[in-house]
Structure 1
Amino acid sequence: MKTGKRGHRRKKLGFFRLINRGPGPVRLFIGGVHGREGLTTIRALKRLRFSDIETGKLVIYNCNTSNYLSTLDPSYYESRQGREIMGLIKEYRPSTYLEAHCYRDESYHDLTDPSRKLKRGVPPLIELERGVLIGSVSPHIRKKLFRREDICLTVEIPCFRDSEEWYRQLEVYVEFMRIVASSRDRDELENRLGRKYPHQVETARRYAREFFGEYPPF
């Protein structure tokens, strides 16, 4: 694991880790993008290791707590946290971008609601298993900052509680991150996830076609 000057500079703002295995794809994983989510997501991001990628870079950043503002609100990207995230994307230019979030139990149905596109303007999230959800990142940055072939994903876990079930959920959450981190491109990721979660991957493809048309995020 190599942490350079950038790591020392950003450490004061939040957890930063740069795993560098030479030439290859760049992945950027960001947790805790709003509110107190970072208190949960740090438990997963700190478990990612040098051995989780074979080539390229994995940049990990967990934000400090902040006022809650949805990433679906365009003004989020004018906030300090939003500008910081956009700065990381522009600096590292990742081909894989993952946002780690957590949600309160009462938000589950809103996040997975089949009519979410009508209510919030974006497709519903998809449950992998044990309440761990996946979807695309905010459309406000998907088209603006990424190429069509890039991987851009959101993954959500229930916010931390000290229970056996939550730690089982954490294992699913971390394993998904490791699959994303170790995949070199979208085709490899879809093939690997498709073997493990065939229904969920097909649903994600359908949502992408319906929402993004010729610009699918997954």
Structure 2
Amino acid sequence: MLLKIYGKGRPFRLFVAGLHGQEWQDTSDVLLNIERPSSGTLAILPVVSRGKYISTLDGDFYKGMGKLIVDVVEECQPDIYVELHSYSSENFHKLVSSTRINEIGVPGFSVLENNVLMGSVSPHIRRDHFPVEALCLTFEIERLDQSSKEFAAKMLRVVKECRSRDGFIEYMMERYPNVAKKAIEDYKKFYGS
């Protein structure tokens, strides 16, 4: 395990990448290039697994190859948790589909800039390991797209300076109000208030 920790104290932020399959090739370097936050703690887990692809929506993911994440979450109890994933362009429409909730069981992702997608993390980790007030995000970058990677890095720099879920919501409402409203609406429908 390569867990890098920058800073100390609260808020505690945990960013993870390379969760499954070959994803680490597109995501891990993004995390490795993040600088320490101006306050609080940032823990980075750049490669969770280089093994086969098992979806984080699979109930066994966080019991098997993703158990490392659960162990870190239980030990550090992060206030902010971010998973950085990558997707192939042919899967874009499946990931953002308004029918994803009926087909896969979770809401479709919201589209930011440069084909970066944003949504919540899997309910298997969100419900079981985080309090309601925690900020839990997934960013999906398009594979082999440098501009997507760069925009995701920009968003991670924003999140690493956030002190709470509300701080991130405020940032999103100022800059991406439509995305923020959709994300909040999806979250409330799925998890309740």
TM-score normalised by the shorter chain: which range applies?
over 0.9
For residues 40-74 of structure 1, the C-alpha deviation after alignment (integer angstroms, 9 at most, x for no partner) is 11121112002xx1211100012241110001110
For residues 138-167 of structure 1, the C-alpha deviation after alignment (integer angstroms, 9 at most, x for no partner) is 0011111000100000000011x2xxxx22
One-letter identity of the residue aligned with 1:187: D
1:145 alignment partner, one of 108, 111, 129? 129
Which residue is 1:208 aligned to? 187
Question: Highest CA radius of gyration, 1 or 2?
Answer: 1
Which residue is 1:132 aligned to? 116
Which ranges of 4 or more aligned residues in structure 1 deviate by more than 6 Å? none
What is the TM-score normalised by the length of structure 2? Answer: 0.96
1:191 alignment partner, one of 154, 170, 179? 170
Which residue is 1:119 aligned to? 103
Alignment check: 8 A CA contact 2:20 2:51 kept: yes
* Whole-angstrom distance in 2 between the partners of 1:108 and 1:206: 21
Q: Is there any run of 5+ residues in structure 2 with no aligned partner, and where?
A: none
Which residue is 2:35 aligned to? 49
For residues 176-203 of structure 1, the C-alpha deviation after alignment (integer angstroms, 9 at most, x for no partner) is 1111110001111111122111110011
- Number of corresponding residues: 192
Q: Is there any run of 5+ residues in structure 1 with no aligned partner, and where?
A: 1-9
For residues 11-35 of structure 1, the C-alpha deviation after alignment (integer angstroms, 9 at most, x for no partner) is 3xxxx32111x32210000001111
SS of equivalent residue, structure 1 residue 74: coil
Which residue is 1:4 aligned to? none
SS of equivalent residue, structure 1 residue 200: helix
One-letter identity of the residue aligned with 2:108: P
2:74 alignment partner, one of 80, 84, 90? 90
Which residue is 2:159 aligned to? 180
* Whole-angstrom distance in 1 between the partners of 2:82 and 2:108: 17
For residues 108-137 of structure 1, the C-alpha deviation after alignment (integer angstroms, 9 at most, x for no partner) is 111001100000000000100111000000
Aligned-residue CA RMSD (Å) = 1.1
SS of equivalent residue, structure 1 residue 129: coil
* Whole-angstrom distance in 1 between the partners of 2:104 and 2:25: 26
* Whole-angstrom distance in 1 between the partners of 2:82 and 2:27: 12
Which residue is 1:19 aligned to? 6
Correspondence 1:40 to 2:19: no
* Whole-angstrom distance in 1 between the partners of 2:27 and 2:46: 7
Which residue is 1:6 aligned to? none
